[in-house]
A and B are shown apart, each in its own frame.
Chain A
Amino acid sequence: MSAATSAPLLAVRDLAVSFHTPYGVVRAVDGVGFDLAPGEFMGLVGESGSGKTVTCRAMLGLLPNGRGRVDGGTALFEGVDLLRMDDEGLRRVRGRRIGMVFQNPTSHLDPVMSIGEQIGEVVRLHHGLAAGAARVRAVELLRGVRMPDPETRIDSYAHQLSGGMRQRAMIAMALAGGPALLVADEPTTALDVTVQAQILRLLLDLRDSQGLAIVLVTHDLGIVLETCNTVAVMYAGRIVERGPAATVLAAPRHPYTIGLLGSRPGAFPRRERLAAIPGQPPGPGALPTGCAFAPRCGHAEARCAAAAPTLRAVGDGRWVACVREGWS
């Protein structure tokens, strides 16, 4: 992992985000931290509601208006703290240095604007190209994301394209400003399996050809194993385990990661029951005082309830947040 040794492109420390709901203030992300090197492909894994998406959106200042709030932490990107930036500064980072790809390409594309216009709009904003040059560039970008027949598709509207082509169009939009980091929030969840593989292949190629760093939010550990250099596993708003994807998934050390891997169906299902993790994840308003996973953990001890364990280095670039690591 040569990429992991160079200076980080993005360094997140102690990120905390809370939501103001009618039922009170809820801590959605608590003390999240990780490094991302240029050209690194990191998987951010966890169940629904574990704070993956909130983490990504908080970095770009795209939390829901008036409800989500960053309570603390830093997110140094190319030497500047994104969390302390004003709107004007964030607008210069968004699209230009950090691109974002969303889960559902159908609803994230403007229905009344052709994809060429939408891509051209980004190119014109960030690179000041004239309309004609922007159109040429849009065709290039569509070809770069392997859109079939880009010269014709450029004039299509979102509803005229297949799901895979829509996602390619959205990736082209996210890349139009020439970013160094691409945040992909479950980019393949809404697609069928064959298209999923093509889109992941495309992301890998973009990483290799352009040195793009990618944060891939997903709940699919298989995808992480196939594509990511590193992985961070989130549970109830915290990162519980982090490290090189291959070693973390081959030999997980946090009980939650172990449970998550055990509950995955294999490619050729045997006649045995999937090992589900017992219980439910805690609601964000009802976090236990100690380790959030302790109520569901087979190894829970008395000290688990005392205080939430922090991430500790356990060697080989791996970090685990569990009392059984580092103390014993």
Chain B
Amino acid sequence: MSGASLAEVARLPRLAIVGGAMILAWIMVALLAPWFAPFDPIEQDLTRTLLPPNLQHWLGTDNYGRDVLSRLIWGARLDLQMGLVAVAITFSIGTVIGAIAGYVGGFLDTLLMRLLDVTISFPFFVLMIAIISVLGSGLAGFYIAVALVGWVSYARIVRARTLVLRQSDFVLAARSLGFRPARILLRHIVPNAIAPAVVFSMSDAVLYILLGSSLSYLGLGVEPPTAEWGVMIAEGQTYIATAWWMTTFPGFAIALLALAFSLFADGLAEVLGTST
């Protein structure tokens, strides 16, 4: 639990470095998609449908003759974005609610925690689908649903840490120096409280990537013809017996990205001395 410096990054466990490198690689792929992708991801070529992997189309083509590799690369943009934006939203909301509930305490704490209990009492996936079916499918609906449901874990984690830190010696020292409660909370408690939440957010990102592609697979997320891994799997499942490459490669991509975040989370947990 300290400010990260280069020396400390060098002491990260090997798993975290491998995971971090994989995440960075995926981010590079996503950012440089226009240069990496050999073909347009949505342009159809009905003369070249369902080609198996070959020298021109390394991962084959789909039922509309689109290049699977190009769709995979462009899909990385969306899937990575869904994971990272969803985590950013839930992390921020959850941290604010958890810190305020833990620090202020009393009636406000009770109110927020009962709200949390109600949210948690619904099965996560069912609640997400219910909200999205009201809001309509698409990325905006996905993010709003995530914001409404996903904050609870972060609120719990940060509140628990805040309750401990509120009684800590350095908070007493900060009070003895004349700081206001708001400053103590923001500058001294929250930075110390978020370490376990940061670790959790990495494995949470995996959840949102899987969730985003699952919803797209079900037709509730990103819509065809946009290149997204869940959409690709949904489209490919009809051809799974004849064109295995349409579903297998996006499946691998999801697994690899999820693995990257999981490894990084484990390594980070080791460094920060927390467990998820």
Of B61-69, B87-95, B171-179, B208-216, the one touching chain A:
B171-179
Instruction: Compute how far the CA of A298 lies from the CA of B241 in the bound complex, rounded to whole angstroms.
Output: 98
Residue of B nearest to A98 (CB): B176
A110 to B178, Cβ gap below 8 A?
Answer: no
Instruction: Compute how far the CA of A174 lies from the CA of B174 in the bound complex, rounded to whole angstroms.
Output: 10
Residue of A nearest to B1 (CB): A111
Instruction: Compute how far the CA of A325 lies from the CA of B192 in the bound complex, rounded to whole angstroms.
Output: 54
Instruction: Compute how far the CA of A121 lies from the CA of B187 in the bound complex, rounded to whole angstroms.
Output: 10
B3 to A112, Cβ gap below 8 A?
Answer: yes
A177 to B178, Cβ gap below 8 A?
Answer: yes
B84 to chain A, nearest CB (A): 23
Instruction: Compute how far the CA of A235 lies from the CA of B201 in the bound complex, rounded to whole angstroms.
Output: 52
B178 to A111, Cβ gap below 8 A?
Answer: no
What mask results when residues 85 to 115 of chain A are scored 1 for a CB within 8 Å of chain B, else 0? 0000001111110011010100111111110
B1 to A125, Cβ gap below 8 A?
Answer: no
| Size bin of chain B's contact surface | 20 to 34
A94 to B177, Cβ gap below 8 A?
Answer: yes
Instruction: Compute how far the CA of A94 lies from the CA of B178 in the bound complex, rounded to whole angstroms.
Output: 5
B177 to A122, Cβ gap below 8 A?
Answer: yes
B175 to A62, Cβ gap below 8 A?
Answer: yes
Chain B positions within 8 Å of A109 at CB level = 170, 173
| B274 lies within 8 A of chain A by Cβ | no
Chain B positions within 8 Å of A102 at CB level = 169, 172-173, 176
The contact of B177 among A95, A111, A114, A157, by CB within 8 Å, is A95
The contact of B178 among A64, A96, A157, A159, by CB within 8 Å, is A96
| A173 lies within 8 A of chain B by Cβ | yes
B177 to A112, Cβ gap below 8 A?
Answer: no
The contact of A112 among B1, B173, B176, by CB within 8 Å, is B1
What mask results when residues 165 to 191 of chain B are scored 1 for a CB within 8 Å of chain A, else 0? 001111011111111100100011001
Instruction: Compute how far the CA of A126 lies from the CA of B187 in the bound complex, rounded to whole angstroms.
Output: 16
Chain B positions within 8 Å of A91 at CB level = 178-180
Known: A107-B168, A170-B173. A112 touches B2 (CB 8 A): yes
Chain B positions within 8 Å of A126 at CB level = 178
Instruction: Compute how far the CA of A125 lies from the CA of B177 in the bound complex, rounded to whole angstroms.
Output: 9
Instruction: Compute how far the CA of A172 lies from the CA of B63 in the bound complex, rounded to whole angstroms.
Output: 72
Q: Which of B1-26 contact A (CB under 8 A)?
A: 1-3
B192 to A110, Cβ gap below 8 A?
Answer: yes
Known: A102-B169, A111-B1, A112-B192. A174 touches B177 (CB 8 A): yes
A120 to chain B, nearest CB (A): 11
The contact of A100 among B173, B183, B188, by CB within 8 Å, is B173
The contact of B169 among A107, A112, A173, by CB within 8 Å, is A107
Instruction: Compute how far the CA of A92 lies from the CA of B180 in the bound complex, rounded to whole angstroms.
Output: 10
- Which of A91, A107, A112: most chain B CB closer than 10 A? A112
Instruction: Compute how far the CA of A62 lies from the CA of B171 in the bound complex, rounded to whole angstroms.
Output: 11
Instruction: Compute how far the CA of A102 lies from the CA of B171 in the bound complex, rounded to whole angstroms.
Output: 12
B2 to A159, Cβ gap below 8 A?
Answer: yes
Chain A positions within 8 Å of B178 at CB level = 91-96, 122, 125-126, 177
Chain B positions within 8 Å of A114 at CB level = 3
Instruction: Compute how far the CA of A100 lies from the CA of B98 in the bound complex, rounded to whole angstroms.
Output: 30
A113 to B173, Cβ gap below 8 A?
Answer: no
A111 to B173, Cβ gap below 8 A?
Answer: no
B175 to A107, Cβ gap below 8 A?
Answer: no
Chain B positions within 8 Å of A122 at CB level = 177-178
Q: Which of A170-201 contact B (CB under 8 A)?
A: 170, 173-174, 176-177
A173 to chain B, nearest CB (A): 6
| A36 lies within 8 A of chain B by Cβ | no
Instruction: Compute how far the CA of A122 lies from the CA of B168 in the bound complex, rounded to whole angstroms.
Output: 19
What mask results when residues 159 to 176 of chain A are scored 1 for a CB within 8 Å of chain B, else 0? 100000000001001101
Seen from chain B, the residues whose Cβ lies within 8 Å of a Cβ on chain A are 1-3, 167-170, 172-180, 183, 187-188, 191-192
> 6 A-B residue contacts at CB 8 Å?
A93-B178, A94-B177, A95-B177, A109-B170, A111-B192, A125-B183
Listed from nearest, the 4 A-B pairs whose CB atoms lie closest are: A95-B178, A95-B177, A94-B178, A107-B169
